[in-house]
Structure 1
Amino acid sequence: MIKKIPVLVTGVGGGGNGHELVKTLRLTERYRLIGVDMAETSFGLFDVDEAYTVPPASNPLYIDTLLDICKKRQVKILMNGSEPELNVISKNKECFLSAGVLPLINTANVIELGLDKWATITSLKKHGFCVPESLLVQTEAEIPKNFILPTVIKPVVGGGGSNNTFVVQDYDELEFACRYLIRQNKSVLLQEYVGTPNDEYTVGILHTLNGELIDSISLRRHILSGLSNRIKVKNRTERTELSPILAISSGISQGVIENFPEIRQGCEAIATAIGSKGPLNVQCRFVDGKLYPFEINPRFSGTSYIRALAGFNEPDILIRHHLLGETLPHKSVNYKFGYGIRGLTERYITELQPVQPWLKTPSF
């Protein structure tokens, strides 16, 4: 029997990125999956080979807990399931490397850039890419009296899953949304709403951890279904070119994977320009032949499992290359085109065996 590679995946709660990564790695038979989360009833803890609860990423014991798990369970690969965990793991990357554990994350500079939406837009403009008209607002006094409507308003930092994101169509709404976020001590990003719901894409660009481009994959989002969208409103403006419904992706991504060469090549150029090394995702719209990136997610995507089903298993490719020394596949869009559709899966447990906190487990 081939000995399986121990992989630690954090933040494996149901529907989240960590659980999608667990499902992605399960498509192969190479890995022994160790999953951790804060809550003992997190869905993904029931889909791994070993499950433990750990402190939240904000807890000073978080990194030491992960390092202890890695040491005692002989973990070789670490993958994060949420952005707070990505941030803290990035800052402590050398601790894991010194312990013989390889975190599959991008560089600290790219992560810092991607987690700050204003820094992202500023960098994209500096490199000459088209972006939606954007404005940073940090105080109530800076709320503009004049800006392109309709407008997307969101926190500069955080806001995963489009939390605290608004689509506004007049200045009363704009002022309300800005004040609401500022009074929560959040800096605010205003962005011009461009295109239609049919113009939105999520694009994965995979580089090795040394910066060699492996390939890219693009999914045109279907964002008007209830599962994929919590933010959609009737268009009340006179801008009929934007379609009768204004919507942005704010749920579980699904859609069609095709070649989309202009979009992929444009996003590859973005990833190269910012020095990406590892997994990266560009959220964008493609309107009248122009690519409008509006966010960069410096991590594996929530659509990783859909991509793996299509034949592009990003974490598996990186592990086989960096850990097992396998030759990289040639960049050739060597995956299947089709539709990635998603739903909800339930599990009912009559005799719940509590998942144990790691610090209370014995040494192995």
Structure 2
Amino acid sequence: MRKVIGLLIFLSALIVTNLSADEMFQAVDPKDATLVKTDSSKEFCNVCGMHLTKFYKTSHATEFKNGHKEQYCSLHCQAQIEEDHADKIKNIQVVDTNSLKFIDAKNAIYVVGSSKPGTMTPVSKYAFSTKEEAVKFQKEFGGEIHTFDESLDMAKKALIKENNAIDEKRVPMAIKGKKAFETMCDTKQTKDFNSVGEAKQYLIDNNVCKNLNPQMMQAVAIYLYNPALASDKSKMIEVPSEAKCPVCGMYVSKYPKWVAQIKINDGHVHYFDGVKDMMKFYFEPAKYEHKHNNDQISEINVTDYYTLESTDGKKAFYVIGSNVYGPMGEELIPFKDEDQAKKFMADHFGKRILKFEEIKKEFLF
């Protein structure tokens, strides 16, 4: 029961942007917060986009080997960066819950699972500069004592489950964000983003939207990061979480707006993180350790760029040479409707529209 209550608390916090320091344990007065960034994203987490002073007591700051610094609202978001960029990290700091100063995360003592709310997780994680302070906090609020490495490992293992829960909670925000983006923003100014925070910074730096309050700006950023959240999932290509692209090896479910699939007569399905990789496979399946030929293909489906709906790949229209990039860089952008393909080509400097049978190996960059 306690874990269920914790999950509800942390999910509710994802859509709250104006709580005062008295209403939320993690929050502090802005004058007491140390923000390590100096650009337009300095006040929000680069992963989830949440306000850093409102979730300050769980904040982590990372310095990368190239000297760049980022700040994250939680160990959950820090773990996300560790998963993708561990080899680029120089050092990590964490806010000491008592002093509100940054300390070396490697030397910090964490209390995991206390009765205080977690940030981006139902299992709270608060750091302390000494074991004595951690034990004192533990006696009052419960939880277990752990090192940074132990706490980070727990955060990494929980990422998939927690991100799925977060995505479910973000659906109504994404739907609102979609409406706001289409009515109050320059829809020609868009691209793919690696995080909500990255999308939010892009919106600010490029003045994409007019007269958006902070909560609606967050909603638009959530939509742009993962437009699939605002789409009818029953019309999208469903991808198993463990499915990897046979061409590049990436997990396809991470890129729902780019999914393509090839179904074989024997029931086997190949999933791809873009049309480009799908076509590479289509032309040379043996190169990727598959022996079937194209006569054994029962279906080819791609994701329409605007609607995100599953579309017959052999009937779709593909724009090449645009300024919109997919997970693997330059991409063939698919559309169910030729007029939409023409509109996209005009808006994004596309060079040509191809039908499926017109795609050649030499067009695959």
Common fold: TM-score over 0.5:
no
**TM-score under structure 2 normalisation?**
0.22
Higher relative contact order (CA 8 A, sep 6+): 1
More helix by share: 2
Q: What is the TM-score with the length of structure 1 in the denominator?
A: 0.22
Structure number having the greater strand percentage: 1
